[in-house]
A and B are shown apart, each in its own frame.
Chain A
Amino acid sequence: MSKTLAEKIWADHIVRSAQGEPDLIYIDLHLIHEVTSAQAFDGLRLAGRQVRRPDLTIATEDHNTPTLNIDLPIADPVSKLQVDTLRQNCAEFGVRIHSLGDAEQGIVHVVGPQLGITQPGMTIVCGDSHTSTHGAFGALAFGIGTSEVEHVLATQTLPLVRPKTMAITVDGVLPEGVTAKDVILAIIAKIGTGGGQGYVIEYRGSAIRALSMEGRMTICNMSIEAGARAGLIAPDEKTFEYVRTKPHAPQGADWDAALEYWKTLKTDDDAKFDVEISLKAEELAPFVTWGTNPGQGLPLNSSVPNPADIADIEERGAAERALTYMGLQAGAPLKSIKVDTIFLGSCTNGRIEDLRAAANILKGKKKADSVRMLVVPGSARVRLQAEQEGLDKVFIDFGAEWRNAGCSMCLGMNPDQLAVGERSASTSNRNFEGRQGKGGRTHLVSPLVAAATAIRGTLSSPADL
């Protein structure tokens, strides 16, 4: 029977299937970080269980880690305890860990691909919803809770109900200045934050194929913001080439065998998706959110919407609350909005291409006096690469702060936070109330819009410069 890509990967990982029960699915890679693992390791200890496959498990420190003075002990004692607990757990259970200061430390979803342990056709989980990022390689990758983290540690499997499948096709050529981030923000605005619930999304079409691996990661990363558990893109020559040069790529005969399998990883021509949606690349534009959920976004050239124009009562109420929280007036042009902070980073847009794209806009310019800009590479390796290319100097000359790797202001668990009422243009993934700091106001943008906004002090695209 013909299958979609997600169905093929699912079928290849069924350990056990029984009538009336969820399928037991094998997990090829388990990524771990400090926030969602402590209670899982504790559960193992209480039950006298071991980590079944330390060789399919890897940990890094990212959510809590400071981006300044990383050679000093973590100042916040509670954050320090959580990171120390991860280190102790990894030592006790024999799990590989990349700690602060290590060249491979960084955001878990940046680390996996750069080590080459993210490969096509795998099942990948992590106690973090943005695990969907790894779907860019044609892997079935999704976030799990701490109970499931414990389950995977103990058994290397998860009992799961087979998800439905959704195809989102973007055909055509993206206009100049329109990035992967704009594409996914437009998709979320179209289908809503609940639109993907219960589905694995496969992104297809010529505009998706034309994206680099890093752009594809940006798209898949925000599948969760559309409510989907996972998003994926069929692997192609770009994918194979990206993996081939990484430390954990298969070698010799293993490479040949892997490649043969990877080339089968595409949706069959006559396979049926449960839902199909399509967008035209030519109609997309730089996108920005105005509200407090990632579905509340519009093209940057538009104005703040008037809640009175929204027919759905529930959505209208949400829009009214959002405008109050965001301190915005209906009808004001989005480009008139002044921001205080620019955050360039996160698992959505903290990779080398994102830094290059922003640096290219900022080079030789000075930031607006009214803004501060934080540049936080997604991993220590990305930071090193950027420094080799001289990007750090571009950012510093521009007036930005060049920081160490981690999740940083994306979720404000470390000291990098917005103050009450402060407004950011952020390349991260969530504009929820207080996400970047209590009372903080977030506008989600692409790295290009972040850079242009840093120059002008108001939400802007490079075309406005």
Chain B
Amino acid sequence: MEKFVSHTGSAIPLRRSNVDTDQIIPAVYLKRVTKSGFEDGLFAAWRNDPEFVLNQPQYKAATILVAGADFGTGSSREHAVWALQNYGFKAVISSRFADIFRGNSLKGGLLTVILPQENVEKIWAAIEADPTTSVTVDLAAKNVRLGSEVYPFELDDYTRWRLMEGLDDIGLTLKNIDSVTAYESSRPAYKPKTLPVRS
């Protein structure tokens, strides 16, 4: 996984709440067996509308998505994270994220930043007034900066460390695999097994 320390780019306002994963990437786009090429499915239905914010030329270069509350509700599809990343987004800012989407994003190195809705509104106003506004999402300093404004955010130290080091979760767990083996040795015999097949 690529390290995430700080990212500076332009940002795009998505003034909608409850953006569900079927909007981020509809199910018909989920059939690929790779992790790339999902950018064509990103917000596929909404992109048919020429007025949709992703279609506006002034936001074409944006790498930070600033969305309404409850972003990423719905299914567990990690394709939603891949679609955002494949399209070029490095970070998403919202006042609330759905749990599974948030977990997926932080596993995959897409930084999801939680800011109070009033600060989301301020960023929307700034990037609508000037779409070229430079926005910095700084994980090291745990803040979002634009112009003279600084908006602090929280992220637990463990996840922050893992993202900043670009560490693979599985590799970290495998370092402790002896504790897994020890746990397994004391699991009760009545716990079900899928093999051998019973019918």
Contacts and interface: CB of A to CB of B under 8 A. Distances in A.
Contacts of B174: 154-155
A379 interface: no
Interface stretch (B4-12, B22-30, B144-152): B22-30
A142 to B, nearest CB: 8
A434 B22 contact: yes
A21 B158 contact: yes
Contacts of A26: 180, 183-184, 187
A151 interface: yes
B99 A229 contact: yes
Interface string B180-191: 100110011111
A296 to B, nearest CB: 9
B99 A197 contact: yes
A182 B184 CA distance: 41
B98 interface: yes
A193 B22 contact: no
Interface string B100-130: 1001100110000000000000000000000
Given A64-B31, A78-B31, A432 B76 contact: no
B107 A47 contact: no
A301 B18 CA distance: 26
Interface in B170-198: 170, 172-174, 176-177, 179-180, 183-184, 187-195, 197-198
B37 to A, nearest CB: 12
A22 interface: yes
Most A CB atoms within 10 A — which of B17, B30, B73? B73
A28 B179 contact: no
Contacts of B34: 39, 42
A55 B193 contact: yes
A394 B96 CA distance: 46
In which size bucket is the chain B interface? 35 or more
Given A148-B107, A157-B180, A432-B23, A194 B194 contact: no
Given A79-B31, A227-B73, A36 B170 contact: no
Contacts of B78: 36, 39, 127, 145-147
Contacts of A224: 74, 100
A412 B27 contact: yes
B28 to A, nearest CB: 6
A82 to B, nearest CB: 5
Nearest to B97: A197
Contacts of B22: 411, 430, 432-435
B62 interface: no
Interface string B152-173: 0000111000000000011011
Contact of A143 (B76, B157, B184, B197): B76
Given A314-B68, A432-B22, A28 B103 contact: no
Given A147-B169, A161-B156, A257-B190, A194 B31 contact: no
A35 interface: yes
Interface stretch (A2-10, A209-217, A248-256, A353-361): A248-256
Interface in A411-427: 411-413
Nearest to B33: A38
A224 B28 CA distance: 21
Contacts of B99: 197-198, 227-229
Nearest to B179: A16
A29 interface: yes
Contacts of B28: 412-413, 438
Interface of A: 15-16, 20-22, 24, 26, 28-29, 35-36, 38-39, 42-43, 47, 49, 52, 54-58, 63-64, 76, 78-79, 81-82, 85, 96, 104, 116-117, 119, 122, 127-129, 131, 142-148, 150-151, 154-157, 159, 161, 193-194, 197-198, 224, 227-229, 247-248, 250, 254-255, 257-258, 261, 293, 314-315, 317-318, 321, 411-413, 430, 432-435, 438-439
19 contacts: A26-B183, A26-B187, A42-B33, A55-B194, A78-B31, A143-B76, A145-B81, A147-B107, A151-B170, A154-B170, A155-B174, A193-B70, A194-B69, A197-B96, A198-B99, A248-B198, A430-B74, A430-B75, A433-B45
Q: Which 10 A-B pairs have the closest CB atoms?
A: A145-B104, A38-B33, A145-B78, A143-B76, A147-B107, A258-B190, A254-B190, A146-B78, A78-B31, A250-B190
Given A55-B195, A248-B198, A258-B190, 19 more contacts: A26-B187, A28-B191, A29-B194, A43-B170, A76-B31, A147-B107, A194-B70, A228-B99, A257-B188, A258-B188, A293-B73, A317-B17, A318-B17, A430-B75, A433-B22, A434-B23, A434-B45, A435-B22, A438-B45
